[in-house]
Amino acid sequence: MRQYRVIGKPLRRVDAGVKVTGEALFAADVKLPNMLHAKILRSPYPHARILRIDTSKTEALPGVKAVITGKDVGPIRFGFVDTPRYPADQYPLAIDKVRYVGEEVAAVAATDEITAIEALKLIEVEYEPLPAVFDPEEAMKEGAPKIHDEIVPNTTCAWQDWGVGRAARPFKVERNICATTSISYGDIEEGFAQSDYVREARFFVPATSHAAMEPHVVVASYDPTSGKLDVWLCHMSLAVKQYWLSKTLGIPQSKIRIHGCYTGGTFGGKIDLFAHEFLAAFLSMRTGRPVKIVLSREEVFMACRLSHRMIIDLRIGVRADGKIMAQHVKLINDPGAYRGSSPVVMFLAHAFRIPIYDIPNWKHEGVGVYTNKSICMPRRGHGSPQMSFAAEQLLDMIAEDMGMDPAELRLKNVRKPGDVLPNGDRLDSCGLRVGIQKIIEATGWKEKRGRGNYRGIGMGLSAMFSGAMYYPFASAAIVKLNPDGKATLFTGQSEFGQGSDTAMSQIAAEELGLDLEDIVIVSGDSELCPIDLGGFLSGGVYVSGEAVRRAAEDAKRQLLQVASEMLDVEIGSLQIENGRIFPKGNPQKGVTFAEVVRYNIQKHNGDPIIGRGFCKPVPEVEFYPSLTKGAGRFTDAYGFIVAVAEVEVDPETGRVKVERVTIADDCGQPINPANVHGQLLSQVVMGVGDALFEEIVTEEGRIVNASFEDYKIPGVYEVPEFVHIPTGTFEPKGPFGGKEVGEGARAAVIAAIANAVADAIGARIYSLPITPEKVLEALEAKKRSR
């Protein structure tokens, strides 16, 4: 184990103080002089033509400053995916048709919120309801309602804007199919032919809500004299918001400032550009006044994206000796009325699974299908929870057929350090094997398994990228030495609870030989901070952290150079400790950072010492991997998770209680063990909600549980005991050995709970969530089959 000064210490979060006093600024807390409040009129229909909108009564209401409809905004396209093959398919305001309940139809800006709400009631919209379709398999049939016409791009696509020299092509929608994926390697038929045990099953995963405690908010203020737009919003990537606001509003990126403020939880649910963010800016440009939009919790459920619904047909073949020979996945993804992240999630459902097991023959086919429902986007794990729920269960089923311990089956197939994946990704660190071995010991796995009496234990494995090639393709950082010898760090990472402010500061402090308190961090502000990948795809530590380390290293190099001159000692003979530089073994002779900075300013033409660093998610490749074919490098390092859940099932009520979850995680060297523990505990509790009760319920496309009254998320009583077993790995390419930790575990937890329930009741449940009704049904079916 390497010894560090700051890294690996459970130091207090740098943002904790302002968060316990209420001082921390969130977008909802921003109030500007002369600010207007806007509200959005949303579609009450899942599918309807807009025949006429009359806003004249609204405009006449005192206090109303602007009313806009799709006609005012025009056919501006945006979307999470905007590639040559898949052009963006959304509009900020519906133009001629609405495609889901909650879609944005008109917006009003008024002097106060109440007036804006009153004003919405005065907008007259005449709809012609159209036949709607809610089931993806129905939607693919000939003669199903047609949700989209051909999607014809009217501008460059995001790929082109970020340097890929291929223009967007029109997208012809056939049978409501919005995306397809087909990835394969090896020979799938041959693989099954060589298998002695083959099982197949169909699994269902419903949509869920991210349910971050902070509802989505935007404040936008456009200054016509300078052409500048100031924005405060909930985000997890400056680059994505700034790019899309620039593109849709026609304002240069440099003139859009995303202000630094804290974001109240994201879990993937704040990555997209949302219509309300565009609309606030558009209304501010139109009125010349700041405009604020605060969404209600119901609006967040309807219009701020859900996790992806999936139907997964899975077939796995295993040889008698336990070697997995083939895996065939056929998945149907229902992203709702717009494409959302459909091609991405179908790709990731593959990409997050291939680093786990060495399976020589693999076929992964996916089809994304439009339906008249709310749009789906990434949620913590993005495809991994869905696919892991299916794959980890099917492996257990095969192990049962074989009479083999499922942990043993996993040990025989998990990848090991040094493995190269079919796409070329190399695993320089991989704690799966050691994780399984440790967790078997720690949980008493062998004794607890199959003990009956409605108590069960189950295992789940998952993996996650540490950043990937997605625009803006890079993270950079600046470390500015101050005259007092302390440093200010500028990073485009933004703090939404994951602990990036603390982790980035610790990395800078470690590299410079300073204490955490000596670093002042400026983050999450597009005008002050350099380019950054942001906090999605889990590249925070691995990519942005490495950029921070390199910036600090650059500053340190300069400090050493000047100190060498001051002390007349070669750089190689100098040592840094505690803000001082001195000849090795002679600390008395040293100079402080402050002295070095002041000396440099005096002697070297005012140079104050500023370090810069940058990093790319995958240094060797230029652009994205192919989502459709799965070709190209995905990431440079994977985080791995082994989870074991212990449950007790009440056979009378069908209720499942998760008693304990143990996680053996491989996040490389923990930057801050307290934060690592916090991220894992967070995912354990979140996973309990996913496994047992979270589900978006719709009737005719309308979400009927769009409140915390009806959509339960885990509360303090749902928290199981959590045991954390670090695997003690080290990622050689990561900053101080670190990699992903905040996203991957949720999938393993859900899978482990599902397997534990099966162990407890001796029957399988193939759909999430595992409700008491399903448990009772499974017990009944088991009884009948006897």
Chain residues in the site for another protein (CB under 8 A): 10, 12-13, 15-26, 28-29, 31, 210-215, 262-265, 267, 294, 296-297, 496-499, 674-675, 677-678, 681-682, 684-686, 707-709, 713-717, 719, 722
Long-range contacts of 165-168 (CB under 8 A, 24+ apart): 166/84, 167/84, 168/82, 168/83, 168/84, 168/87
The dihedral of CA 270, 271, 272, 278: what is its sign?
A: positive
Between 79 and 678, name the residue whose CB sits nearer to another protein: 678
CB 211 to another protein: min, Å: 6
- As a whole number of angstroms, the distance between CA 309 and CA 346 comes to 11
Between 22 and 606, name the residue whose CB sits nearer to another protein: 22
- As a whole number of angstroms, the distance between CA 786 and CA 783 comes to 5
User: Does 126 qualify as catalytic in the annotation?
Assistant: no
Instruction: Tell me which residue of 610, 611, 613 sits closest to 475, measured CA to CA.
Output: 613
Between 423 and 505, name the residue whose CB sits nearer to another protein: 505
CB 678 to another protein: min, Å: 5
At 349, which amino acid appears?
A
Token reading at 258: 């995303």
Token reading at 161: 């804007």
DSSP symbols for 155-186 = S--HHHHTT-------B--BTTEEEEEEEEES
Residues sharing a CB contact under 8 Å with residue 123, sequence separation 6 or more, in sequence order:
41, 53, 54, 55, 57, 58, 67, 106, 108
Q: DSSP state, 543?
A: I
CB 146 to another protein: min, Å: 37
CB 339 to another protein: min, Å: 26
CB 60 to another protein: min, Å: 23
- 3-state DSSP assignment of residue 629: coil
- As a whole number of angstroms, the distance between CA 559 and CA 492 comes to 24
Please identify which residue in the block is written with the tokens 């000692």: 569
Residues sharing a CB contact under 8 Å with residue 420, sequence separation 6 or more, in sequence order:
426, 427
Between 566 and 681, name the residue whose CB sits nearer to another protein: 681
Between 340 and 742, name the residue whose CB sits nearer to another protein: 742
Between 29 and 161, name the residue whose CB sits nearer to another protein: 29
CB 691 to another protein: min, Å: 14
CB 377 to another protein: min, Å: 16
3-state secondary structure 730-749: CCCCCHHHECCCCCCHHHHH
Among residues 743, 773, 777, 780, which one is catalytic?
743
**Beta 291-294 vs 36-42: how paired, if at all?**
parallel
Between 47 and 210, name the residue whose CB sits nearer to another protein: 210
Instruction: Decide if 735 contacts 460 (C-beta within 8 A).
Output: no
Catalytic machinery residues: 743
